[in-house]
Amino acid sequence: MKWVYKTKFNEHGEVDKYSRIKAYFMKEGCEKYDYEHTLFIKTGKEGKVLIISLYIDFIYTSNDELMVLEFKDSTKREFDMTDLGKMRYFLGLEVLQKSTNVFIN
């Protein structure tokens, strides 16, 4: 078996790892945060916000449960992904999520 890998470059000649993901998020109405290339924000009606960060996987949070459900369903279809549930560890830190608080240890 032979693996073929083609490096994609953006308009600045830099390697563009997230081109398909970025294009998908833009199509879904997200805005790319200018100062952090892995951060996308989708603003809904009445101050509803969905924040997505691309680290190794998608890490997201929102103040609207419907936006979260739509995002999860959409990304599952587009990228054939599995929901791993609530984050428990991030960069070696334990993350405990309760209904009113998030604790990082």
- Answer positive or negative: Cα dihedral of 15, 82, 70, 50: negative
For residue 3, the model assigns a pLDDT of 43
Provide CB contacts within 8 A for 8, sequence distance 6+. Answer: 15, 16, 19
- With beta carbons less than 8 A apart as the criterion, state whether 21 and 28 touch: no
Q: What is the DSSP string of 91-104?
A: TTEEEEE-SS-EEE
pLDDT at 4 over 50: no
Domain ranges of the chain: 19-104
Query: pLDDT tens digits for 7-56?
Result: 455 666 665 556 778 888 888 888 888 888 788 889 988 888 888 887 76
Distance CA(49)–CA(70), nearest Å, equals: 13
pTM of the model: 0.65
Average pLDDT of the chain is 78
**Cross-strand pairs, 55:** none
pLDDT attached to residue 50: 86
Output the furthest CA–CA distance in the chain (Å, rounded): 52
When pLDDT is cut at 50, 70 and 90, the band that residue 60 belongs to is confident
Q: Which residues contact 5 (CB under 8 A, 6 or more apart)?
A: none
